Amino acid sequence: MQTRTLGKNGPAVSALGLGCMGMSWAYGATAADADEAIATIHHALDRGLNVLDTADVYGPHTNEELVGKAIRGRREQAFIATKFGIVPHPTDPAQRVANGRPDYVRSSCDASLKRLGIDTIDLYYQHRVDINVPIEDTVGAMAELVAAGKVRHLGLSEASGATLERACKVHPIAALQSEFSLWTRDPQGNGMLDACRRLGVSLVAYSPLGRGFLTGAIRSPDDFDAGDYRRGSPRFVGDNFSRNLQLVEQVRSLAADKGCSPAQLALAWVLAQGEEVIAIPGTKQRSRLDENLGALDVRLGAAELKALDAMFPPDAAAGERYAGAMMHMVNV
């Protein structure tokens, strides 16, 4: 398994991790998928992939329980990353807000440890920055978890370069998790990737397959189950869907020329953006995991990277990557 160093001096972790969110949440997951999801986690560990990415909000809570069940008896093979800090709005539970209060950091960690059935979380992220709590206070509480042996490494998700810099002054931050893919190139344009390089922080690319779209497998909004989150996500609705489909056709064509799948091309592009980048594509199916791991063997030359950059300028995708209030919670 190809590995990359987590943070400045952290452990070597698999260059591709496994995003576990869709096994329980967001993408139309059903209870019937759980067996294959657990088999997929086992298969990942068998193949030497160790980074398993979850969060307390996925489900909520059921995804951590599922990951916990899957790693029972195999704890040492897994590198468990989970997150805290996205909570229901107190008066409108359909909306989400960030909570970075120190007491909440502590109680969330204990609850995640219990659901995962482990003594120590390998990488603990603040899922979204809470603008009402100084980052120093939140990271200070996270640092206490490291001192207490409950957490090994700290991370932030969707924090700006400036916030990351402040956080690093309190405690080393090993990873910044952000959406990063051919159609979401924000970390390159907003200084996040540069800040990671300067501060010795890994950039963990989530939704590297564009929530499945860049694989070419999604041909129509009708492909989504009734409860699928993407039905209401700006890039997947109306005209945006059709316009974005044209982009995907170009990925399919380049992938065909290269002799790989569109998913492999999309992942190879992410990994080619720098040695500090780790990608965590999500799948609940073993066959797709194998396909995605094949991206590790796809080498993109300068001309191919240039062609992909030309196909996907920063504003190429039609539609924002999040709707409404969730968009305001990123990069703060």
Options 79, 281, 295, 319; binder of ligand NAP; rule CB under 6 A: 281
Given 58, 124, 125, 206, the catalytic residue: 58
Under rule CB under 6 A, residue 282 binds ligand NAP: yes
Q: CB of 212: closest distance to ligand NAP in angstroms?
A: 3
Determine whether 58 is an active site residue: yes
Listed residue (286, 6, 44) closest to 124, CA to CA: 6
Q: CB of 22: closest distance to ligand NAP in angstroms?
A: 4
- Report the site for ligand NAP in 288-327 (rule: CB under 6 A): 288, 291-292
Q: Which residue has the tokens 């990994």?
A: 271
Options 7, 68, 161, 212; binder of ligand NAP; rule CB under 6 A: 212
Q: CB of 179: closest distance to ligand NAP in angstroms?
A: 7
Buried b (16+ CB within 10 A) or exposed e, 67-87: bbebbeeeeeebbbbbbbbbb
Choice between 209 and 247, CB closer to ligand NAP:
209
Kind of pairing between the strands at 86-88 and 96-98: antiparallel
**Structure tokens belonging to residue 299:** 């080498």
Q: CB of 158: closest distance to ligand NAP in angstroms?
A: 6
Options 59, 85, 210, 319; binder of ligand NAP; rule CB under 6 A: 210
Under rule CB under 6 A, residue 251 binds ligand NAP: no
Options 24, 177, 202, 244; binder of ligand NAP; rule CB under 6 A: 177
Q: CB of 175: closest distance to ligand NAP in angstroms?
A: 11
192 within 8 A of 176, measured Cβ to Cβ = yes
Choice between 152 and 211, CB closer to ligand NAP:
211
Under rule CB under 6 A, residue 263 binds ligand NAP: yes
- Report the site for ligand NAP in 119-138 (rule: CB under 6 A): 127
Options 115, 153, 211, 321; binder of ligand NAP; rule CB under 6 A: 211
What is each CA distance from 298 to 45, 192, 293, 303, 310, in whole angstroms? 21, 26, 10, 14, 19
Under rule CB under 6 A, residue 269 binds ligand NAP: no
Number of residues that bind ligand NAP (CB under 6 A): 29
- Report the site for ligand NAP in 35-74 (rule: CB under 6 A): 53
Kind of pairing between the strands at 202-206 and 175-179: parallel
* Closest CB to ligand NAP: residue number: 19
Q: Which stretch binds ligand NAP (CB under 6 A): 4-12, 93-101, 204-212, 301-309?
A: 204-212
**Interaction pattern, residues 135-174, with ligand NAP; x per rule: CB under 6 A:** ----------------------xx----------------
Under rule CB under 6 A, residue 215 binds ligand NAP: yes
Give the interface with ligand NAP as residue ranges (CB under 6 A). 19-22, 27, 53, 127, 157-158, 177, 206-212, 215, 217, 263, 280-285, 288, 291-292
Catalytic residue IDs: 58
